[in-house]
A and B are shown apart, each in its own frame.
Chain A
């Protein structure tokens, strides 16, 4: 039994490099899907705002209080949008911290600057979005024919670009962030509309996708290779899409399922 968990990109690299007469395209790759359907999260758009009621208030102890928040996905659940599919969530934070971040944003100098930093610290609230990058066959990684790492092993070559869906979703992130802050009575300080470059989220997923059909997927529901039954891939490779959440818990849950399956097969004497 070989259990591969080198993380999404390195697992794909290892599988694509593991060629033999039985596996000419790399191990477990009869479907030609290893390295494809690479996906992650589109980030960048977000908002910074000011809660005016908190300006100049006595300092409070905010450590251990839930000043950070998560806004779960709300787009395309009931009312469907016409410009993009799927959705995004927001992660945000507020409250007093040990070092006032607004000291580096507040303009000016002298006693007015010092007082502004003091009065406005703890009155800011900000959030940024994590959106789903759609899995597409053409988005992926392959073995670079030229570049090798310092051990002489070929590196991965990326063929990965955001599509219109991600760009339209990102535009909506900025717009909905503003809408929510304005509706909440939060003064909008700045709205960021820029998309961070591809790969920024470092939530790499989906290079050996899971599925029931060996012709169109690499792994089964137990993250076990369709082609090579004693090979399991237990990182983010099996994800069929990125959704919009941090993937670690899903990776852990799927790994748990894989372990249960192995234990059960061992008990039956099949392993």
Chain B
């Protein structure tokens, strides 16, 4: 019989949640996360580390 692996339950602190239905029965649409848009410098720094040629090398087969 197969042995099943226990995964770690959580790995990160909770992120802010914008939940729709539920606790208060509110049925409104999405709202923006209640945080200021951060400086994009960190984001751009991360994007510069992405290998410019990774898409060129990324080859897959057609899926079903």
The reply to whether chain A is a binding partner of chain B is no
Interface residue ranges, B against A (CB under 8 Å): none
Interface residue ranges, A against B (CB under 8 Å): none
